[in-house]
Structure 1
Amino acid sequence: MTKRSAQEESENNVLQSIVSKKRCFVITPIGNVGSEVYIKANGLIDAVIKPVLQELEYHVEAAHHISDSGSISNQIIERLLEADLVVANLTGLNPNVMYELAVRHARRLPVISLAENETKLPFDIQAERTLFYDDSMSGVENLKPRFLDAVNSIDFEATNHDNPIYRAAKSSIMQQIAATDAEKYIIDRMDQISSQLSEIAIQNRKSSVTRISSSPDFKIVIGGESPTKLERLHIQSLAEAYRLGIVYGNAYPNALFVFSTSREDSANNFLKALTEKFPKLYGHIEG
């Protein structure tokens, strides 16, 4: 086998590996190379999106990763319409990002939205599930299990996924076929109730974040054999399910994890669930 043919075979193997994987396209602000926007956008991809999705055997790509010849706009639209999953970084509310998100919504395929804390989402997507995060090392570790849960919760077998564009179109159609004023009144009331419920959901999410960040009374110190990357993601996802915070610092130098909570029952239930699922781990509760 010649050197050239061996190289071609290696390239073909790489391409075949990519084709066989699910595809994720990342909608993101890019900015100029070396700018703060560029560094932050790539940091989110490299520290959270890629590690989580590569463990799930996804091929991850953003617009500035595309090296194919031809129209970049056409290639972006093609990926928005065909990718198995799209992840949208809404930080900064970049106009291109919002446009590309609308294209994906029109296709009614899965989208996961991320945004840095303090991002003020437009009213028409405020009710959509968005994973907010801190731009810090601890923020990255907190975001990973929540992002993993969001991916695992997607029903990829569903033919259509709910989003603002679909709901607006559906509401318009319903209004057109309503035969009487009474029916129109009922539809209007349903829309009002839906908006109120969305507002309540937003407030609940905000209060949940406040509760998690409040001073904890109990710490769960975990030791044992070091987990794999995938096991670590599962552990952090389990901690998120029990609404535990993560403790950082040097107070526990031999611990693998230290979690915090204000509820003793949550601490006990989490520790029991963790050690049953991962027998190589052990722990104790302080406080």
Structure 2
Amino acid sequence: MAVKQTGKTCFVICPIGESGDEVRNWSDDVFFGLIQPIADDFGYVARRAIDDAKPGEITNHMIRDIFESDLVIADLTLLNPNVFYEIGIRHITKKPYIHLARAGTKIPFDTAGIGTIFIESGSFSGSDRARDELRSQLKMIEEDALNFENPVSRYRERITIEESGDPSNKVLIEILDRLDRIESHPNMIADQIELRDKSRPKSGLFLSYEGWNSLLKSGDLDSSIDKSDLSIENSLKNQKYRLFFNPKNNKSKIISFENDGLIGDGRNENENTWRVKNGFLEIFGEDKKIFSRFLKMKNDNQFVAIQNNDTRNIDGQFIKPLSLFD
């Protein structure tokens, strides 16, 4: 692939170490052998901070690069505190970033929900796999097919909503808080979701289909829910998602929605076909009976399952856009 000179910048955050030591050798191998050539192929000028600052020093120039670069790639190998500090700053921007690490690195809980490209050193197949994953990730970024929403950026949005003083935004804030709890503590979801109907002996966002329709038509959720069938269909067809089909046990899978109404990636006997009707995403099993029904949040394009008398899915399911290569 010919190098595209587009002027795009890729800032690489990585452990630095000392010249000639194991840490520096690793960082050099990853930068020169993996990141730089592939970034070049996609028209990015990749660079590190090694020559711009003393090791361990975080400068104003570095902060500017973290904020303003078109792309940031962070090597989480060795769990270096500066690396986590710097990538945390990038998360504020909602601009593209990629996490990678040496295979076997135990990613801390706070970032474990964000997909990481793992590099298997000493393996040709492992190296090729990392290159393929990085190329795939960059291709999705070029196609604007990823959502870099994260807890930090959502918190900033929440503050903006609160400061607006609009009482109608109270519902949106409650939904954002609930989604954050679902993502952060999937095994506690049964305790976090309020029982909505005493006639159903389990927790969940339960309301009759007619009840949800009435609520949508009332306008009470106008600021929170995407009710446009066309908008929902377009968002589903234009990118891949991750379906948390068993949130309590943190089980999920990649899922895609094809133009012909079939489930692409992730299709099985429970999730076989789909449609959008009256503002709801409805997923059908192989038996052609509805299996699950979801509402789409305007703020972050996540889908939250609702429990109806005709649905059969596990409580608390939700679908979120892929934010990093999975």
Deviation at 1:178, TM superposition (A): 9.7
Deviation string, structure 1 residues 251-284 (Cα, Å, up to 9, x no partner) = xxxxxxxxxxxxxxxxxxxxxxxxxxxxxxxxxx
Against the structure 1 CA distance between its residues 203 and 143, is the aligned structure 2 distance closer, same or farther, given a 3 Å change threshold?
Answer: farther
The one-letter code matched in structure 2 to 1:50 is Q
Against the structure 1 CA distance between its residues 46 and 123, is the aligned structure 2 distance closer, same or farther, given a 3 Å change threshold?
Answer: same
Deviation at 1:172, TM superposition (A): 5.8
Identify which of 120, 123, 127 aligns with 2:109.
123
RMSD after superposition: 3.7
Deviation at 1:155, TM superposition (A): 5.2
Aligned to 2:10: 24
Equivalent residues in 2 for 1:222-241, closer than 5 Å: none
Deviation at 1:35, TM superposition (A): 1.1
1:144 aligns with 2:111: no
> What is the distance in 2 between the residues matched to 1:23 and 1:144?
19
SS at match of 1:112: strand
Deviation at 1:39, TM superposition (A): 0.7
Name the count of aligned residue pairs. Answer: 186
Identify which of 60, 78, 85 aligns with 2:64.
78
Equivalent residues in 2 for 1:79-98, closer than 5 Å: 79-98=65-84
> What is the distance in 2 between the residues matched to 1:162 and 1:198?
20
Identify which of 47, 57, 67 aligns with 1:61.
47
- 8 Å CA contact 1:47–1:140 kept in 2: the answer is no
> What is the distance in 2 between the residues matched to 1:82 and 1:136?
34
TM-score by length of 1: 0.54
The one-letter code matched in structure 1 to 2:14 is T
Identify which of 136, 150, 153 aligns with 1:166.
153
Against the structure 1 CA distance between its residues 198 and 29, is the aligned structure 2 distance closer, same or farther, given a 3 Å change threshold?
Answer: farther
Against the structure 1 CA distance between its residues 26 and 191, is the aligned structure 2 distance closer, same or farther, given a 3 Å change threshold?
Answer: closer
Aligned to 1:45: 31
Structure 2: tracts of 5 or more residues without a match: 187-243, 254-264, 266-326
> What is the distance in 1 between the residues matched to 2:13 and 2:143?
19
Against the structure 1 CA distance between its residues 156 and 107, is the aligned structure 2 distance closer, same or farther, given a 3 Å change threshold?
Answer: farther
TM-score by length of 2: 0.48
- 8 Å CA contact 2:6–2:44 kept in 1: the answer is no
1:193 aligns with 2:182: yes
Deviation at 1:194, TM superposition (A): 3.6
- 8 Å CA contact 1:175–1:187 kept in 2: the answer is no
The one-letter code matched in structure 1 to 2:89 is V
The one-letter code matched in structure 1 to 2:182 is I
- 8 Å CA contact 1:22–1:58 kept in 2: the answer is yes
> What is the distance in 2 between the residues matched to 1:130 and 1:94?
16
> What is the distance in 1 between the residues matched to 2:142 and 2:43?
17
> What is the distance in 2 between the residues matched to 1:21 and 1:163?
27
SS at match of 2:113: coil
- 8 Å CA contact 1:127–1:199 kept in 2: the answer is no
Against the structure 1 CA distance between its residues 185 and 74, is the aligned structure 2 distance closer, same or farther, given a 3 Å change threshold?
Answer: closer
Deviation at 1:164, TM superposition (A): 2.7
- 8 Å CA contact 1:127–1:202 kept in 2: the answer is no
- 8 Å CA contact 2:5–2:43 kept in 1: the answer is no
Aligned to 1:263: none
SS at match of 1:154: helix
- 8 Å CA contact 2:93–2:153 kept in 1: the answer is no
The one-letter code matched in structure 1 to 2:129 is N
- 8 Å CA contact 2:18–2:24 kept in 1: the answer is yes
1:134 aligns with 2:105: no
Deviation string, structure 1 residues 56-87 (Cα, Å, up to 9, x no partner) = 222110011448xxx97122112111111110
SS at match of 1:147: helix
Deviation at 1:169, TM superposition (A): 3.2
- 8 Å CA contact 2:11–2:46 kept in 1: the answer is yes
SS at match of 2:47: strand
Identify which of 84, 99, 106 aligns with 2:92.
106
Instruction: Write 1 or 2 for the structure with the bigger share of helix.
Output: 1
Deviation at 1:94, TM superposition (A): 0.6
Deviation string, structure 1 residues 104-138 (Cα, Å, up to 9, x no partner) = 11222110110112222222211112112212242
Against the structure 1 CA distance between its residues 59 and 146, is the aligned structure 2 distance closer, same or farther, given a 3 Å change threshold?
Answer: same
Aligned to 2:278: none
> What is the distance in 2 between the residues matched to 1:29 and 1:129?
19
The one-letter code matched in structure 2 to 1:96 is N
Aligned to 2:140: 153
Deviation at 1:192, TM superposition (A): 3.7
